[in-house]
A and B are shown apart, each in its own frame.
Chain A
Amino acid sequence: MHLILQRVFALAIKELLALLRDAASRAVLIGPPIIQLLVFGYAATFELKHVPFVVYNQDQGQLSREFIARFAGSPTFDLLHVVHDQKDLEQTIDDKSALMAMDIGPNFSADLERGRTTHIQLILDGRDSNTAGLATGYAQSIVTTFNEAQIAAHGISPPSTVLLDRAWFNPNLDSQWFIVPGICGILTLLVSLLTTGLSVAREREMGTFDQLLVTPMRPSEILLGKALPGFLVGTLEGSLIIVVSIFWFHVPFTGSLLGLYFGLLCFLLSTVGIGLMISSLAVTQQQGLLGVFLFMVPAIVLSGFATPIANMPQAVQYITLLDPLRYFLIILRGSFLEGGSASLFWPQYWPLALIGIVSMIVASRLFRNRLS
């Protein structure tokens, strides 16, 4: 047993040295993930700001100007310019200089002063439907506040109910709080997959693999030796990214570190296992890279990072059960925002551990088959 441990450690150290030997590989392991966290942490936001809009105002009255000012003064909308006919309005939407166009009819002020309901038209560019949908929501809420002011001014009896909404865990609906923990998960996935996914193929291409085979090491020991660096690099990178999220982005950390780290270990077990599976299948590094991509891209898309799993069709939701990132994102977001502790995360821990153990076993099978 002692001898096996010694052999596994020796191989792990050799792997780490091979990985960190030249400056370029050291640099790509540490620099880019941190830069990406910083760039994407700021870039990935669902809040809308500076949506350009144009106005076609056929009304001469004071009220329409007040109405437009409410839009132009909000941080969400920027008034681009005033257009003077329908054709101009269409043109600005077509060539994407404005996302929204507001068409106010000639009787706007007159209608309001007589207490009649008046209609305006909002035209949105649906080529980017998500932004269009969000902008509609913002616009409606500006219209609602305008209406309330009008109702108060005219002394009309208001509707019989009011809707009071508030958000739990994230009262200002700050999407950075949601995205940054997600990026933590993605980057940990990326680093651990890459360190393990190409490692066997590289030895095969360089011809050092045969040398490894003539050592007294058993295939499972070789795999273990290749798995350890993935764990080590993954844990260190993960910790670094978590530290940046807390101290740079000020995402509140309300849960327990123990619960998060146990989750990180289970997650690494599964990603290292999958990385080794790819590694033992790939003959060339190009195949390894393709394998990493074919796993990584769907894993990110189906994890609920940017689009909720609940919106996916039922069949696709079943596929997401195989995605380790799905479970880790719940652990990350739970630990950061919801004050979750280890006891709340058992439904996440065991699937991760299961995926890890199964993929390790499959990897060692594949590895042995490839040898014979």
Chain B
Amino acid sequence: MKIMRLSGLMRKEVYEIVRDPSSIAIAFVLPLVLLLIFGYGVSLDARHIAIAEVVDHPTQITASFLAELQRSSWFSPTLYPDQASAEQAMMHGDADAILWLRSDFTRLSYSTGRAPIHLAVNGVDANQARLIENYVTGTWMLWQQEEATREGARLPMPVIADTRVWFNPSLRSRDYLIPGLIAIIMTLIGALLTALVVAREWERGTMEGIMVTPVARTEILLGKLVPYFIMGMGGMTMSTAMAVFLFGVPLRGSLLVLFGTAALFLLTALGMGLVISVLARSQFVAAMVAIITTFLPAFILSGFIFDIRSMPPIIQVLTHIVAARYFVTMLQSSFLAGDIWPVILPNAFAMAILCAVFLSIALLRFHKRLD
């Protein structure tokens, strides 16, 4: 009897889905568009940094340094006649940095050995500025080494740190951004699919129709959850396939673990949507709350772009209620490292708690009465 009622409710929900195809769009078009845009659009690897070069007194030594910059794929340098015009270019955004070799550069480098290379970066984008500084420093150190070997001298470099980056040796930002993106997309899908479904019935008055039937509230909520869960997993499958086959992200963990954690996360996200829907009663409020509590927190507080350990302590505490935080960590491990149980277990456990909390709030606050 119970199964029959449940399947009836689910069938009704499926009809709703088919009638207003926007939920199919949420599950399949949204991930497609977002993955394409993010996958091609978001990159933290700086390339072709516009750097303005000013050389007051060109000599062989300045030419050799500029040639080193030219060779690197990081920079696209342009020579400016004087400092004033280079500053003008930086004000207008045509240059991100100015490299200035003053007239006494060559003389100082032979006499005192402390010839200054002046580098001014546009600090408005602090992250980019730091990257540029690092790249210029790297290029400068490489040049020094080459100069020293050419002259047969030994460069005084007491300690050299050789860095090795595991799991993503070439630091391809796409490889770690795309797993993080899948987490964000799944947050959106989960919450958007269910955020409006209960509020909609209240607004349209069809909830009263359901109220007079003998169905229990668990059945109503399950009837809303199951069809959207299946659609969400479809979206997940599509996103994973795009990540692996289109963007060439390695998948080193097992599919079973990947989809197991995804199912747990999707339940959490759908549960959050249901909570919004049950509490809001009006679709406008539900929509606003869904937008506020899903995309931006998942984007900013999940550790996807901004490092959680660097945030102030209060905000670090706050990130624990963002389910995407756990999913981002698990996905990055699943894709790039493999099935690492010390990472999977604590994160899955935290997600299970959140999931239980959301689903029980939805159930507790959903009353079968009209007031």
Contacts and interface: CB of A to CB of B under 8 A. Distances in A.
Interface of A: 22, 24-25, 28-29, 32-33, 36, 39-40, 42-52, 67, 93-96, 112, 117-134, 136-137, 139-141, 143, 146-147, 150-151, 154, 156-171, 173-175, 177-178, 186, 190, 194, 198, 202, 205-206, 283-290, 292-294, 296-298, 300-302, 306-308, 310-313, 315-316, 319, 330, 333, 337-338
A156 B156 CA distance: 7
B34 A311 contact: no
Nearest to B336: A127
B368 interface: no
Contact of B309 (A44, A52, A141, A202): A52
Interface stretch (B38-46, B239-247, B355-363): B38-46
A94 B22 contact: no
Given A49-B310, A177-B124, A293-B295, 15 more contacts: A28-B289, A42-B311, A43-B300, A45-B307, A127-B167, A127-B337, A140-B137, A163-B119, A194-B291, A289-B192, A298-B33, A300-B299, A301-B41, A308-B125, A333-B124
Contacts of B196: 285-286, 289
A127 B311 contact: no
A134 B130 contact: yes
Nearest to B43: A311
Given A46-B306, A139-B161, A151-B156, A161 B126 contact: no
Given A42-B315, A130-B305, A312-B41, A24 B121 contact: no
Interface in B56-83: none
A286 B122 contact: no
State which size class the interface on B falls in. 35 or more
A126 B90 contact: no
A28 B43 contact: no
B27 to A, nearest CB: 11
Nearest to A311: B43
B212 interface: no
A146 B159 contact: yes
Given A126-B167, A198-B287, A285-B196, A120 B122 contact: no
A95 B342 contact: yes
Nearest to B319: A43
Give the most central of B23, B50, B115, B299: most A CB within 10 Å: B299
Interface string B112-127: 0111111111111111
Given A95-B343, A168-B122, A194-B287, A143 B161 contact: yes
A25 B283 CA distance: 10
B184 to A, nearest CB: 9
Chain B binding surface, main DSSP class: helix
Contact of B307 (A118, A128, A161, A287): A128
B136 interface: yes
A157 B120 contact: no
16 contacts: A24-B281, A25-B284, A25-B285, A40-B300, A45-B306, A123-B164, A126-B166, A129-B44, A132-B168, A133-B44, A154-B158, A164-B117, A166-B119, A284-B22, A289-B290, A289-B291
B256 interface: no
Give the most central of A120, A300, A311: most B CB within 10 Å: A311
B20 interface: yes
Given A130-B44, A177-B126, A157 B137 contact: no
Given A49-B310, A294-B30, A161 B284 contact: no
B280 interface: yes
Give the most central of A32, A127, A128, A301: most B CB within 10 Å: A127
A45 B310 CA distance: 7
A167 B123 contact: yes
A91 to B, nearest CB: 8
B283 A302 contact: no
Contact of B113 (A47, A160, A311, A319): A160
